[in-house]
Chains A and B, each alone.
Chain A
Amino acid sequence: MIDINSEIEGSYFIIRISGDVDASSSIHLDNAIADAINKQPKYILIDCSDLNYISSAGLGVFMSYLQEFEAKDIELVVFGLSKKVFNVFEILGLDQLLRITETEGQAKKINA
């Protein structure tokens, strides 16, 4: 249902999520983000190109790290959201809190 791959490209820690993130699979996302924070990267990019669905529990995982990112001065960028998933982010108001770009390239350029 869910497949998460992490890779490091210079100062970018990229987490690629594909499939559905629901209450039971959100734990994998949680682990992936916790791993990323442990590596202390400058940027964490989340690739949602293949993310089909994210439940409120999945969003909760993102949310729970927002303040930690801020405290540790880590820049989080989410990119590649489908229209449907973006709508979910938007309704919840996350588009106001997160940096969201369309492509990976844009995501990398965000602070360059």
Chain B
Amino acid sequence: MSCKLRKGKHQNSYMLSLKNFTRICILLAIISWISLLVTDLVILFSDINNINAGISPEIPSLLLNLFLVFVFLFYKYRIGKTDGVDFIAMLWKVFVIGMLTTLVSVGIMAFYYVLGNSQLTQNLLLINFFYHINLGLIAAFLISTFITWKRLILYQKSKKLIRVWQIFEYSLLASVLFNFFQYNIFDPFFNLIFSLLFAMGLILSVNLKWVAYLNFKQKWKSILLLVFVIIYLYYFLNNLIDYSNNHNLITDLVNNVFILALFAFIFLYSIFSLLVILFNLPTSSVFEQKLEEVMNFQRLSQSIQAGQKEDQVYEILLDSAYSAVMADAAWMEFEDKDNEELRVLFRNTNDKEVGTIKNYLAQRKIRNLLDKRLGRKTNAVQLISSLKDARFKSVLLVPLVVQKQKIGSLALLKEVEEGFNREMIDIINTFANQACISIENFRLLAEALENERYKEELKIAKKVQSSLLPKSLYLNDAFEIAAFSEAADEVGGDYYDVYRINDHKFAIMIGDVSGKGTSAAFNMSQMKGVFHSLVQLDLPPDKFLIHANNALSRCLEKTSFITASLFIINTERREVEYVRAGHCPTLYYNSAADTTNFFKNRGLGLGILRNDSFEKYVHVNKFSYSSQDVLLMYTDGITEATNHDGMEYGYENLQLIVKQYHNESPDYIQKKIKDDLYDYSGNQPINDDYTALIIKFK
């Protein structure tokens, strides 16, 4: 940031000094010009009155040279440094300066004309005064045009070109010194220098690359402006010669090699430019066409980045193709991605016409296929056809293919026969391909965004679901408890919960929804709702299950069911009542007998029988617990986890763990189960949700 600021400041001060420099130049130029004017007039006045003014003849030359050099420097830095390559604007400025100069010159002529043959028109002093005005303006016009030409010549510069130019420019500038020698135009030495400068100007005048960058319209404008420049040159030169021949002048530009060389160079370059532009006129449309194709291609490839919709790509493709081959009409069909509707865009044609052409093409297509079968070389992808007895005599049909699927087609029509050449077909194919790539990218991006959104949604679902499981289990004097649950996907269908009904009564539930993933997760949340509604009623466990079955039967979809085990622990009587609704049998470690066994009481999953007959399958069991007894509840994700041989983890392994670690805390036992399970399954993914809940009585 600070760096940028500093740079800006620096540039500013640089520009300021440049501006001041050009101001000083123009000021000095004006002073020089006024001095020259005064000096010349004094010399003339002295001559007329035969007085010796005591001014040496070098003084006017010196002042003229100073004037020329300052004007030169002024334009060199003013025109030389402006940015941009607007050739027409540059030529326009030249035109305006020339026009001003001409107007002033014409104004002077008008002045003489109005005065007629009066004494004043013959006054040498007045003539010289006007001549100086002309001199100043013409010099300014010549020098500014020279600098403009320099910009044109150096538009595409090479090291060598710059060197040649510098030699030319400095030689030209140096030629002002020649003025001190008072040679006139017929002197051979004068001509030698003029010829040298002329030759250099000629060599440099072949640099006309800027012409190629003009479009058709700009070329016409350039021609007009250049013609004006040539007229100006002719008029100014005539004007100067006229003055030189008819009047006694103290300072005469006709004898100035610098001015003459400028005239010659500007004239040469104007003529060259004019001719080159003229000869380039017929081919400029081709150049423009190519340029437009490149621009269109760029638009097609950039369209998606600009955040456009698919429709806009189709529109751009149709318009680009339409103009690229200069078609007389076009249409495009494509399938709308959102509602899978076929949509058609027309250019300069209509539904009815297109229908006729399509019918005709359909017949042709059969022949094309036949041709293909016979092994003839036909392009099956594009269809180029000639039509008979219709407004359009030729058609080019290009399919639009995205992800190897045809999504539509582009058809271009021409009123002439065989209107599409090889190059046009290539261009259209390129356009179509690029448009399809754009559309493909657009679709892929949309898909990626959609997927990203789903992932986010699932993350949220996972968060919500994890909040459905109890965050902390009840700490109490009667038992310790630990639990863990993992889902195979982001969300799962396992459920467990602990609820304190009153001071000495706890309800503990474990459940498993059939299936897994999102649908199971929804049912799991219903299960939670059912549990929390019923558990507050302090129902006996069998009634609890019957109500739960009733409620769930109404809301589970046909193929879903839930298995569950419910334990009601009475810590006062140290008794447990439990029911099993098709859930994995709970493992119980009896510390007194040092035995483990599974509670295989009868039961049926919830939502399997959706009528009153469910009651018959509910059986309540009861047992008394003693200190150090362990209960292990789990879901079938654990027992059905497989190792790399496809063997299930099973019940025995669970039993072994409990037998081995029953003395440890539930947390520890839980950790051991997890470790053992992961050891067993190795790097096989566990493809079901799994949950375990361990209770150890105190």
Contact = CB atoms under 8 A, between A and B. Distances in A.
A63 B514 CA distance: 11
17 contacts: A56-B514, A56-B515, A57-B516, A59-B514, A60-B515, A63-B605, A64-B558, A66-B608, A84-B648, A91-B582, A91-B583, A91-B585, A91-B636, A92-B582, A93-B581, A93-B604, A94-B608
Nearest to A59: B514
A93 B636 contact: no
Given A64-B559, A91-B583, A96 B602 contact: yes
B584 interface: yes
Interface string A44-68: 0000000000011101110110110
B582 A93 contact: yes
B322 interface: no
Nearest to A61: B559
Interface residues of A, number: 21
Across chains A and B, which 3 residue pairs bring their CB atoms closest together, nearest first? A93-B604, A56-B514, A60-B559
A110 interface: no
B636 A97 contact: no
Given A57-B559, A93-B581, 11 more contacts: A23-B515, A23-B516, A63-B608, A64-B559, A88-B636, A91-B582, A91-B583, A91-B585, A93-B602, A93-B603, A96-B602
B617 interface: yes
Interface string B463-494: 00000000000000000000000000000000
Contacts of A63: 559, 561, 605, 607-608
Nearest to A20: B646
Contacts of A91: 563, 582-585, 636
Interface string B607-640: 1111100000100000000000000000010000
A75 interface: no
A96 B616 CA distance: 10
A104 interface: no
A57 B516 CA distance: 8
B542 interface: no
Q: Is the interface of A mostly helix, strand, loop or mixed?
A: helix
A88 B605 CA distance: 12
A37 B517 CA distance: 29
Contacts of B40: none
B293 interface: no
Contacts of A23: 515-517
Interface in A5-61: 23, 26, 30, 55-57, 59-61
B604 A96 contact: yes
B688 A55 contact: yes
B516 A97 contact: no
Contacts of B558: 64
A59 B517 CA distance: 17
Nearest to A63: B608
A96 B515 contact: no
A64 B561 CA distance: 9
A60 B560 contact: yes
A60 B516 CA distance: 12
A3 B513 CA distance: 26
A92 B515 contact: no
A93 B514 contact: no
Contacts of B688: 55
A67 to B, nearest CB: 7
Interface in B272-305: none
B648 A93 contact: no
Interface in A54-109: 55-57, 59-61, 63-64, 66-67, 84, 88, 91-94, 96-97
A93 to B, nearest CB: 3
